[in-house]
Structure 1
């Protein structure tokens, strides 16, 4: 009985720590600089290619902004990709079932969200660099 209680004392804080690790700070990625010589059409094409390549759905498109949604099982993430002649920015818009919350001015979200967005950013950066070679 004493051994079980000792294990509980050790495991309980560890379990609480792991439960808290399901959230991560939500920081929008740094802006992506657009290589010189690319047209607006090329930039938009690469944004769409990066989003669609990672299974994001384009939900709205207007000059300077593309809205996109990722539906993954019961998780939904929405981002806005804003662009001008010099840079592209990716920003969190909203989500469902991703444990988004603000605490003391800091935003937190499901730990996988950041990797989903960073995958798009990496693909977008690579695509822009390859376009600039042509």
Structure 2
């Protein structure tokens, strides 16, 4: 009986550790330089191509800004892509079911937000998010950079 309780305790500890590891700081990408001499329309077309190649969807578009989203099963993330003829930025817009935390302090208390911006961090971006966010956004950046002939991210 004692060995069963020990096994359960170890299993719960492992699940807790794995769960904690899957939460990372949310990073935005600001002013990533486009080295080619392009006009803004060419930058927009290249970003469109990268979005499509990465499997993302354009939700909304206005001059110099694209809202793009990516969904896997019940998880959704969205980013604002702002661009000029010389650079682009990718910033968190919203997400669903991505284990968002407003701060390390709230994470320690177990406070987690599943929908954004319906539930918010006082108007600020969340500080922590599921690690899949970085993977998906990293893939988007790689695909966009590939359209510009860039290889480093």
So what's the TM-score if we normalise by structure 1?
0.85
Q: 1:100 and 1:86 mapped to 2: Cα distance?
A: 32
Counterpart for residue 26 of structure 2: 26
Q: Larger relative CO (CA 8 A, sep 6+): 1 or 2? A: 1
Is 1:122 aligned to residue 129 of structure 2? no
RMSD of equivalent CA atoms: 2.0
Instruction: Give the greater-gyration-radius structure (CA).
Output: 1
Is 1:108 aligned to residue 128 of structure 2? yes
Cα pair distance change 1:5/1:24, threshold 3 Å: same
Q: How many residues align?
A: 130
Q: Matched residue of 2:29: which SS?
A: coil
Gaps of at least 5 residues in structure 1 are none
Counterpart for residue 37 of structure 1: 37
Gaps of at least 5 residues in structure 2 are 106-125
Deviations along 1:37-64, whole A, 9 cap, x unmatched?
A: 1121211011011111122111111111
Counterpart for residue 77 of structure 1: 77
Q: 1:59 and 1:10 mapped to 2: Cα distance?
A: 44
Using the TM superposition, give the Cα deviation of residue 11 of structure 1 relative to its aligned residue in structure 2, in angstroms: 3.3
Q: Matched residue of 1:10: which SS?
A: helix
Judge conservation of contact 2:36–2:148 (CA < 8 Å) in 1.
no
